[in-house]
Amino acid sequence: MNLLRLAEGAAWAVAIVLFGGILLDAWRTSRRYEESLLTSSREGEIEADAREVESGLEQIEDRLDEVSGRHS
């Protein structure tokens, strides 16, 4: 009988520790990061951003080529 009560007590304790742990982490995360960063992107938004970044970098490289061409 005592073993049963011990098992039940251990189950309560582990469950509370785990749930408490993720609650605490969630609270700390929400405090540490801005809400606009945490709020998820739309489907496909990251891919669109990556394409935008790539095209921007290409523009910069073209501009650098132009400038270095003028100087030489």
Residues lying near other proteins in the complex (CB under 8 A): 1, 3-4, 7-9, 11-12, 14-16, 18-19, 21-23, 25-26, 29-30, 32-46, 49, 52-53, 55-57, 59-60
Q: How far is the CB of 24 from other proteins (least distance, A)?
A: 11
For residue 15, give both structure tokens.
């469950």
Q: How far is the CB of 67 from other proteins (least distance, A)?
A: 14
For residue 60, give both structure tokens.
């910069």
* CA nearest neighbour of 9 among 24, 25, 17: 17
Q: How far is the CB of 69 from other proteins (least distance, A)?
A: 20
Instruction: Give the side-chain half-sphere CA count within 13 A for 59.
Output: 6
For residue 40, give both structure tokens.
């998820």
Nearer to other proteins, 36 or 72 (CB): 36
